[in-house]
Structure 1
Amino acid sequence: MRYALALDLVDDAQRIAEYEKAHERIWPGVRDHLREHGVLQMQIYRLGTRLFMVMDVDPVVYSAESMAHASSKNPTIMEWERLMWTYQVPTPWTPVGTKWTPMSCVFDLASQ
C-alpha cells in the first residue's frame, strides 16, 4: 500500500538546509521505529517550502493509529518530532492537531 502526504517547511533557507541535513542520515531509532511499524520505503521530496512524502507500507503490519500511539510513547520519536517541528509548519489544508496530511490520488496510469 502506498501513501502520499504533504507538509510545509518554514520559509527560511537556513532552516530548510538544516532540515535536509537532518535527513541525510536519520537517527537509527527513528529508522527502526518506521520499519518496526511496517514502513517498507519512504521518500520525501521538496519544492520550495512544500514537502511531499511517498510511503510504501506493509498493509498487514502498518496502522497509522498504532504507529501514532507507539510514537507518543517513544522518547526518541518524541524528541525527533520536537526537532522536526522547528522546521515544519502545517499546510493551509492540514487539520488542526495533525502534521503530514494525506493527499488524494487524482491520476493513476495503471488504471488507464
Structure 2
Amino acid sequence: MKLKRYCYSCDLKENPKLIEEYKAYHAKGKVWPEITKSIKDAGIVDMQIYLTGNRMFMIMEVDETFDPVKKAEMDASNPKVQEWERLMWNYQQELPWAKPGEKWIALEKIFQLDD
C-alpha cells in the first residue's frame, strides 16, 4: 500500500495556560474516541501534531481512500466532530495569511532529500 503525506499548520492562541490545556486534550488516550474513529474512517493511517511556541504542524499519512473534500464533508455532517472543532477553536487561531474560515493551512513542500 502506497501512502501519501499531507502536512498542515495552525496556530494556538499565545496563552501558556490555553496551550497546556490544548496539549492535555491531545495527550495519549484523551482525544475523544469519536474523533479518532472519524480520522481513521477517512483513510488517515497516521496523524501527528508537533508544536513549537504556539505554531502547530500536523503530518498525516493517508491511504488511497483518503479525499480531503470527502473528509471535510464527513466532518461537517458529524455532530461529535463539530462539537470537538468548536471546543478546539477556543485554543486555536488562524494563521495571519489564512482565508476567512480557514483553520489548518496546507504546507508547501519545498525540499526533499534525494536517495
Q: TM-score, normalised by structure 1?
A: 0.95
Task: Please state which structure has a larger fraction of its residues in helix.
Answer: 1
Give the AA of the match of 1:40: V
Q: 2: distance between equivalents of 1:52 and 1:67?
A: 19
1:64 deviation in Å?
A: 0.7
Unaligned stretches of 5+ in structure 2? none
Structure 1 residue 8 and structure 2 residue 11: aligned? Answer: yes
Q: 2: distance between equivalents of 1:22 and 1:74?
A: 19
1:98 deviation in Å?
A: 1.4
Structure 1 residue 72 and structure 2 residue 73: aligned? Answer: no
Match of 1:38 among 36, 39, 43: 43
Unaligned stretches of 5+ in structure 1? none
Alignment RMSD (CA, Å): 0.9
> Within 5 Å, which residues of 2 pair with 1:43-62?
43-58=48-63, 60-62=64-66
Match of 1:104 in 2: 108
Residue-pair matches, total: 110
Q: 1: distance between equivalents of 2:77 and 2:59?
A: 25
Q: 2: distance between equivalents of 1:84 and 1:68?
A: 16
